[in-house]
Amino acid sequence: MAKAIIPLATGFEEMETLTVVDILRRAEIDVVLAGLLPGPVVGAHNVSVIPDTTIDAVNSGAFDMIILPGGQPGTDNLNADQRIHKLLKKFASKEKLIGAICAAPIILAAAGLLKGKRATCYPSYRDQLKEGIYKEAPVVSDGTIITSQGPGTAIHFGLAIVAHMADHDTSDRVSKSMLVKEISAEIWNPSLFNSTIQALLSALEAQDNYTEGQARRVSEYCLSIGSKLKLPLIEMRDLYLGAMLHDIGKYSTAEDVLNKPDSLNLSEETLTREHTLKGTLFVVGISNLSHIAPTILHHHEHWDGSGYPSRLKGENIPLHARIVSVADAYNAITSNRSYRDGLGKEAALRELVKNKDTQFDPFIVDVFIECLNDSPFETKDFSYYF
């Protein structure tokens, strides 16, 4: 059975703590509350809780995740305790899951765990995330770190943790049993997709025959990877959007360049590469899409720093862009083009493996190969959007 520990300090936010405990236990995940000192712990709103144990009595090796509640002065009390920092670093060194909500992500920042990581927190604490990359979202997951904004997002946070510690099916089951229907309705809002994606992709597909169906195939591959990584539903939505619109900047590239049967000259290559910038400009002014601009801008960056437009390297490339890069390359290799026939699955996979550590994130390539070996991969059916 998966097991999580939640440290408790005086002044903890009760809603963020007890909501998460309730959701995890509904999912049959073992949760242990550990006080900094023996005896009851009083929360920020004068609710007294008797922890299961104390931090000093905890064997960190027995746990799969550590979760920090927010609240004040609870967050400051946790942050001032070096035992918490020691635990966090131990969990990070073992690549175990780490969660924090409300003000608590600043503790992760203070422990040096957010460098280059996407995270969220209570808005007034965003400047204290230091080297973390603040995202305006109820729940943000980056690798083994899951963060959330506050009491009102505690249910989202708990369900995201369940998805990581168990699976999406368990998270969905718990969500339905609690009648949390509005989450999915908000995340997969058909008007969001129908009002943007259809119009944008129709314009592109009318110009380049190759792109017909290409965006959907890439998005399906991306969602299979996201599912394997157990990304929260909101991140799955954003990954879907980024994958669907990653090549939208090609709308203004000349048709004869897009469909040229032989190699591009330097001028044509430059024009083609501009599609990442043009696509970014296309979405930055749209409130529901501007947050996916990094995926569109950076999906041609290379793991070794040789890509474009910014020559980003390694994990400095946004996670969603790294996923799209692999999925897009596989789709391109296996598709027929005006200048060559597509390769089969095995040959395409050999190309991906060959370019691990240079063009592609090696971990994402390995995950994608696992996805393709499934039956055929886990994803949602978005056909009703098209």
Residue partners of 141: CB distance under 8 A and separation at least 6: 147, 160, 164, 230, 231, 232, 235
Distance of CA 376 to the CA centre of its chain: 22
Structure tokens at 81: 């305790």
SS3 83: helix
Domain covering 188-385: architecture = Orthogonal Bundle (1.10)
pLDDT for 189 equals: 54
Give the pLDDT band (50/70/90) at residue 248.
confident
Question: In the chain, what percentage of residues exceed pLDDT 70?
Answer: 81
Q: Where are the beta strands (DSSP E) in the chain?
A: 3-8, 30-35, 41-42, 48-49, 53-54, 65-68, 97-101, 118-119, 133-134, 139-142, 145-148
pLDDT score for 160: 94
Q: pLDDT (tens digit, 9 = 90+) per residue, 300-328?
A: 999 999 999 999 999 999 999 999 999 99
Q: Is the dihedral of CA 160, 162, 167, 173 positive or negative?
A: negative
Q: Are 369 and 348 in contact (CB under 8 A)?
A: no
pTM: 0.62
Q: Which residues belong to the active site?
A: 102
In the chain, ranges of CATH 3.40.50.880 domains: 3-182
Task: Give the tens place of pLDDT for each residue, 44-92.
Answer: 999 999 999 999 999 999 999 999 999 999 999 999 999 999 999 999 9
Terminal CA-CA length for the chain? 41
Instruction: List Cβ neighbours of 369 (8 Å cut-off, separation of 6 or more).
Output: 349, 352, 353
- What does the DSSP 8-state code read for residue 27? T
Q: Decide if pLDDT at 264 tops 80.
A: no
254: which residues sit within 8 A by CB, 6+ positions away?
Answer: 271
pLDDT digits (tens, 9 = 90+) for 106-165: 999 999 999 999 999 999 999 999 899 998 889 999 989 999 999 999 999 999 999 999
Q: Sorting pLDDT into bands at 50, 70 and 90, what band is 284?
A: confident
Enumerate residues 6+ apart whose C-beta is below 8 A from 43.
11, 12, 13, 14, 17, 49, 71, 74
Kindly report, as residue ranges, where domains of CATH 1.10.3210.10 are found in the chain: 188-385
Domain 3-182 adopts which CATH fold?
Answer: Rossmann fold (3.40.50)
